[in-house]
Structure 1
Amino acid sequence: MHECPYCRKLEAYNFGTYLDQTKHWIIFLAPNQSNLGTCVIALNRHHGTLTGLNSEEWEEFVQLVERMENAVKKAFHSTLVNWGCLMNSFYMENKPDPHLHWHFIPRYRDPVEFAGHTFEDPHFGYMRPRPPKKISEDVRVEIMSKIRKHM
């Protein structure tokens, strides 16, 4: 994993595999790729809520939204992207230690063929649990390479 002040802690949260970073945000390819290109974007300092982000962090996040959506649209022809800031799992423990992060979930009207796999979005238009998509580490690397190419 890439070395940065928060990566070890973020790795424990299982946000995924390091993909890239900006001054304020770290991008991970999410463990579950049932929606091709799904990522987690975490704040590059420990903070638990949207309240308290400074204007520079917000501004950079807005730029990152455009950059990520364009990259995945070019790479895999996503139809749209859902963004979610869901902190629930941190509060399942008695002593929560939340870390601000966003879920970046590309959605696809049509199946996508990539690296010998068919990625389907059978619940397109709805938010339903996505079963894990089993792919090899080699395919994960190919996904990351294709996203980076368009960032």
Structure 2
Amino acid sequence: MNTNCPLCTSDGGELIWKNHELRVILANEPELPGFCRVIWNEHVAEMSDLSLDQRGRLLHIVFLIEKIMREVMQPDKVNLAALGNMVPHLHWHIIPRFKEDVFFPGSAWSEKQRESNAAHLQKQSVKVPVMVKRIQDVLGHV
């Protein structure tokens, strides 16, 4: 544990599911409803810090989240990213992207391309609890 690391000292968002190796959180990104992160519990910075088996288990969860997200949220695209430049604690971003979102077609960290679309955000926000429940149901059997 690194006491200077926000992902060591907190869940990093709304905790959806956790086991002894990793956790899934719902990020608090109002313009990107459904944005999730899969966070390795132990403080490591890179995928290569993990064993091959650990990497496989982590990516298995990332891909399960992506699949569930696609089924429930029905995005135009899903972005997967493992940057760690600001927080060097291994975590993956799984981001549902829509042509109506304020950043599209840029990344979730780009400058806004348009004004926020309240109807779009409302439509997607109501799907988030369904996605969370589905993630919990599926990961409860992993």
TM-score by length of 1: 0.65
Q: 2:39 matched to 1:32?
A: no
Report what 1:149 is aligned to: 133
Change (3 A) 1:34 1:50: same
Q: 2:92 matched to 1:102?
A: yes
Once the 2 structures are TM-superposed, how far is the Cα of residue 29 of structure 1 from its aligned partner? Answer: 0.5
Cα deviation 1:15-49 (Å, max 9, x = unaligned): 21111124422111111131221012110212122
Aligned with 1:82 (options 79, 82, 92): 79
Equivalents in 2 of 1:47, 1:11: separation in Å? 10
Cα deviation 1:80-109 (Å, max 9, x = unaligned): 21111122224xxxxxxx311111111113
Cα deviation 1:107-148 (Å, max 9, x = unaligned): 113xxxxxxxxxx41432322246999x9xxx79x72x3123
Equivalents in 1 of 2:116, 2:38: separation in Å? 19
- Unaligned 5+ runs, structure 2: 136-142
Report what 2:103 is aligned to: 123
Change (3 A) 1:132 1:24: farther
- Identical aligned residues as a percent: 23
Report what 2:46 is aligned to: 49
TM-score by length of 2: 0.68
Q: Summarize the alignment of residues 5-16 of structure 1 with structure 2, pairs less than 5 Å apart.
A: 10=7, 12=9, 15-16=12-13
Equivalents in 1 of 2:30, 2:46: separation in Å? 26
